[in-house]
A and B are shown apart, each in its own frame.
Chain A
Amino acid sequence: MELNDFVKKIAAEFDETPVEKFSASVKFKDLEEWGSLTALSIISMIDEEFDKKITGEDLRSCGTIEELYNLVLAK
């Protein structure tokens, strides 16, 4: 999966934040909608799309969407 598609996938896990707000450099945890449900949804999306398990701690260690993308690829 390309980075651009990954950004779209992350955007899709946010129900209220407009998709235009998302880019590779966005710090997703700073978004107002960020919370336990979005965190859980992203973990589940990565499991389904990449067949990789990331933890809450992994999410915590990432700032931008691109950093998360790289973390997933490195898993």
Chain B
Amino acid sequence: MYNPFSLDGKVILVTGASSGIGRGIAIECSKMGAKIILCARDLKRLTETYNLLEGQHHIIMQADLSRQSDIENLVKDLPSINGIVHCAGILEIIPVKYINSNVFDKIFNINTLAPILLTAQTVKLRKLLSNSSIVFISSISGISIANVGEAVYSASKGAISGFVKAAALELANRNIRVNSINPYQVPSNLLNKFTEVFTEVNMESTLEKIPLKRVGKPEDIAYGAIYLLSNASSWVTGSNLVIDGGFTLL
């Protein structure tokens, strides 16, 4: 059957695959025929994701991406791949005047440094085949909008937006495409962190701000990732795909 969005035969590395958007992307990509390499710290939850995948020959590679040595070992052991989806991320809510280097390092290490180093290593060791695609799961925070307490988080995602453009330009020579997806809030452990602090945030007031009148699902983001990983987006690089139910229109 004609399907330009098929991932049949493609090997895709998904970080942060143990929960939330990462898990959703791993599952949906497997349904499109991809062989998934699942990466995260938590082996138990990775195995849960593994058991939800369709098809065969998926692999679990446990790594703590906040450690440079783990990134290096992971890439060394990687087979040749056709794509990466950088989903691992953290959110810490902290007002501007309480920002310190500890919290800055914690957020930037996972959200910014880890995906950039992982990309660099895979390029250096030539693990990405020609016509590969790298997808960063970023955020509309720091690119289109801002939230109170998210200054460092926004900065970490804004940095990714800049990296995507320069890397897209540089890697075009190797026919490797680099794009990002900027989602609005999708229920996940990350979002729980937000509602832990802002208990007054309730579903009704959130829905009023979303023209399409529902919160996002991991699948909504996954379908965007499938497009960017597939041959359907062969001529798309350096772009930010906003998936937000229309939130940024208001």
A-side residues, CB < 8 A to B, are 36-37, 39-41, 43-45, 47-48, 55-57, 59-60
A40 → B minimal CB distance (Å): 5
Contact call B95/A40, Cβ cutoff below 8 A? yes
Minimal beta-carbon separation of B153 from chain A (angstroms): 13
Instruction: Collect the chain A residues with CB atoms within 8 Å of residue B98's CB.
Output: 41, 44-45, 47-48
Scoring B residues 172 to 203 as 1 if CB is less than 8 Å from chain A, else 0, what string do you get?
A: 00000000000000000000000111111000
CB of A41 within 8 A of CB of B196, answer no
Q: Once the chains bind, are A40 and B197 in contact (CB under 8 Å)?
A: yes
Instruction: Decide if the interface of chain A is mainly helix, strand, loop or mixed.
Output: helix
Scoring B residues 132 to 152 as 1 if CB is less than 8 Å from chain A, else 0, what string do you get?
000000000000000011000
Of the four ranges (under 10, 10 to 19, 20 to 34, 35 or more), the interface on chain B belongs to 10 to 19
Residues of B within 8 A of A44 (CB): 94-95, 98
B74-127 residues with Cβ-Cβ distance < 8 A to A are: 93-95, 97-98
State whether B94 touches A60 (Cβ < 8 A). no
Report the nearest A residue to B194, measured CB to CB.
Answer: A56
Note all chain B residues with C-beta closer than 8 A to A40.
Answer: 93-95, 148-149, 197-198
In the assembled complex, which residues on chain B have CB atoms less than 8 Å from the CB atom of A59? 199
Q: How far is the CA of A32 from the CA of B195 in the complex (A)?
A: 22
